[in-house]
Chains A and B, each alone.
Chain A
Amino acid sequence: MKILSVSTATNHLSVALNEDQQVIVEKNERDERNHSEHLDPLIEEILKENKLTLNDIDRFAVAIGPGSYTGLRIGITTVKMFASILNKEVVGISTLQALAKGVKEPALVITGLDARNDNYFAAGYISGDIPKNVIPDGHYKIDVLIKAIQEYAAQNKVDKIVFVGSGLEKQDEKIKALNIPYEYGTDEQNVIHAGLIGQLAIDAQPVDPDKLLPRYLRRTQAEVDWHKKTGKPFEPDSHYVEEV
């Protein structure tokens, strides 16, 4: 099975072509803000070099979130359209699970993306070929995340924690206070690799391309304020969009 996978969830852009478990090629662009300009040409480059067209791809995979909202939408819109037009399968893979897969040794992997003001999009996974989720993907204040790690460690044997992602090192004091051996991810581990997304995609359940949407893990501030002010319940976004 040929899988084309994409991550635009952070300022690191990654595209990969996998044949079953094997990563045939992965291309990365670091610290680029212009995913919109670079994503499609990068995909085309990979296809050309491997003498393939989009139609030869069996399954598309994408980092579904969390991450930069705008970034996520670029990647997801792109694969959603590919799959919808070419009648191919598409899967969304948790950005945080993909990060966790970069850690090979046995450990509790805390993956987190800096969301400013001591907030993180974060989760806990047990390392492995398919990292197992133990602290759910969410938007956490650092103290809440630390507490979740403590609770998990109190009930499970944790020999080592690896912190992977961005902005976690500045929480070193709080992390040290956990009193569990820990280390931070390497530069390679701290970025999202599309090749790993492709590997995770093999066992993931394909979804209807029309329903493939970012997992933001956070409502917009406007909606939260509106909810507080009016007491009205949140409704699925689609209830507010009507064709005229």
Chain B
Amino acid sequence: MTKLEINSAEEMQKLGASLAKTAKPHDLLLLNGDLGAGKTTLTQGLGRTLGVHRPVKSPTFTIVREYREAKLPLFHMDFYRLENDDLSSIDLDGYLAEPGLVVIEWPQLVMTDLPDEYLQLTITRVDDSWDSTKRVVELNAHGERNEEWVKDALTEYEK
């Protein structure tokens, strides 16, 4: 496990950008963190770097937002509203089968339905003030590919 201190929204976006630059087709990124932790901010940095020119917005309402125009097609999902529902109406397998990057916010409820290999980021607030942008990001790689991904992404981030 690797821990990273993030001090601003810009740094969060930069982390997203670093993950994007080093991502490969079929990668799966899970984002944990409370409301307002910065999951969407990170994905925005990621989308920008992948060449998404439209705004990358919260996918909470429609559960999935597709950015097929990206260099690596980006599928941004948010299972906040899924409650304890199963995944049958989302066709997650279909997205995972595509040569793109799947990013899932609030993956807790669907963990048993996910593949064994993924990169999980857990974002936590460091202090209590609402406008603080200080965060700690934990990166947990599951599987060889994801260990490599973390290594490459962190090298990119330190540049």
Interface residues, chain A, CB within 8 Å of chain B?
33, 68-70, 116-117, 220-222, 225
Contact = CB atoms under 8 A, between A and B. Distances in A.
B83 A69 contact: no
Interface of B: 83-86, 88-89, 91, 94, 97, 112-113
Nearest to B95: A33
20 contacts: A33-B91, A33-B94, A33-B97, A68-B88, A69-B88, A69-B89, A70-B88, A70-B89, A70-B91, A116-B113, A117-B112, A220-B85, A220-B86, A221-B84, A221-B85, A221-B86, A222-B83, A222-B84, A222-B85, A225-B84
A33 B92 CA distance: 11
Contacts of B84: 221-222, 225
**Dominant secondary structure of chain B at its interface with chain A:** loop
Contacts of A68: 88
Contacts of A220: 85-86
Given A220-B85, A220-B86, 9 more contacts: A33-B91, A33-B94, A33-B97, A69-B88, A69-B89, A221-B84, A221-B86, A222-B84, A222-B85
A68 B91 CA distance: 9
A36 to B, nearest CB: 11
A228 to B, nearest CB: 10
Contacts of B83: 222
Candidate in A69, A117, A221 with the most chain B CB atoms within 10 angstroms: A221
A116 B87 CA distance: 11
A143 to B, nearest CB: 18
A225 B84 CA distance: 8
Contacts of A117: 112
Contacts of B113: 116
Contacts of B94: 33
Nearest to A221: B84
Contacts of B85: 220-222
Closest 9 CB pairs of A and B: A69-B88, A221-B84, A33-B94, A225-B84, A222-B84, A222-B85, A221-B86, A222-B83, A70-B89
Nearest to B98: A33
